[in-house]
Amino acid sequence: MIFNQSEFDLRCEWGHQGINQLAPISDVMIIVDVLSFSTAVEIATNNGAIIFPYQWKYSSALDYAKSIKAELATKRTSTTGYSLSPQSLTKITTGTKLVLPSPNGSSLTLLTRNKATLAGCLRNCEAIARFAQKRGSKIAVIPAGEKWEDASLRPSLEDLIGAGAILNYLNGSLSPEAETAVAVFNSFRNDLLNTLKKCSSGKELIARGFESDVELAAEINVSGCVPVFIDNAYVKQPF
């Protein structure tokens, strides 16, 4: 009871433990992994693709993809195929079924079980909020965060900003944690691109040659696409 923010309509907590605490008492779960799972899912589903999250680096991923007649995402560094890089998904074709493992967003999605689950980012923050509000009043926004080398959670600025962007458009009582996310978003909302390029996760992607992914992720409210997790996959729902 102490950690689940149950006194409030709108909740915000990090990662795996955030889902464990908030899912049982929430109507809707929103997974926020700005760099890059949620952004990749928004772009892909907006193009009509069907995205199947999968656990990161599980050797069974290829067998799973074959079993559902889907493609398996390639490594981000690959010059061909679709990957966790949002840029690689900008021209994905309608109807493509893609298994997309990721260390954060995919893994967290698979923990929400039977709860209504959405993939939110800066690109679709207002649309996600409006859709979520129609599904219930108790809404949990989960910034995914990143991982340190020892696999422990690294809270990441871009996901806190993304969570705050969504919470900014929701109506209801905010937990202090949710209020903090909104305050962080409002602090950076007029300079999102530079902020994402200068934060640790953005610098990492730029150093690896994925500056265009950061640029795509920094665009705000450019999409009305709402990816909803249904039957083991994210699909675009009419808004």
- Cα–Cα distance measured from residue 173 to residue 135, given in angstroms and rounded to the nearest whole number: 16
Per-block mean pLDDT, blocks of 10 residues, the chain (239 long): 95 97 98 98 98 90 97 90 97 98 96 95 98 97 96 96 99 98 98 98 98 98 98 87
Amino acid at 163: A
* Residue 92 resides in a domain: yes
Kindly report the pTM of this predicted structure.
Answer: 0.97
* Residue 129 resides in a domain: yes
- Cα–Cα distance measured from residue 115 to residue 21, given in angstroms and rounded to the nearest whole number: 13
Look at residue 15 in the predicted model and tell me its pLDDT.
97
Tell me, what CATH number does 146's domain have?
A: 3.90.1560.10
| Contacts (Cβ under 8 Å, ≥6 apart) of 199 | 156, 157, 158
Give how many domains the chain has, as a whole number: 1
* Residue 149 resides in a domain: yes
- Cα–Cα distance measured from residue 15 to residue 26, given in angstroms and rounded to the nearest whole number: 15
| Residue 59: domain span | 10-233
* Residue 1 resides in a domain: no
- Cα–Cα distance measured from residue 24 to residue 22, given in angstroms and rounded to the nearest whole number: 6
Look at residue 114 in the predicted model and tell me its pLDDT.
87
